[in-house]
Amino acid sequence: MSLADEEMAEAAGLVGAARGIRRSVGAPPPAGERLDVGRITRRACEALGEEAVASGE
């Protein structure tokens, strides 16, 4: 796995972890972060596949 892939996998894991924490407390993502989170999630899905991003791998 290249460094870029490793960084994308780490980003996907962090986004997934943050999503899980927000869901556990019933809080939506902050309005100021929604565009960034969406952009990161889309790029991670393109690079790693949707299943990997959904599972936080």
Residue 36 is part of which domain span?
3-55
**What pLDDT sits at residue 35?**
92
Higher pLDDT, 35 or 48: 35
Q: Identify the band that residue 55 occupies on the pLDDT scale cut at 50, 70 and 90.
A: low
Structurally, the chain folds into a number of domains equal to: 1
Angle at CA of residue 43, ends 27 and 36, nearest 5°: 40
Q: Which tens digit of pLDDT belongs to each residue from 1-29?
A: 687 888 888 888 888 888 889 889 999 98
- Please give the single-letter amino acid code of residue 49: G
What is the average pLDDT across 50-57? 70
Q: How many CB atoms lie within 10 A of CB 15?
A: 19
pLDDT above 70 for 56: no
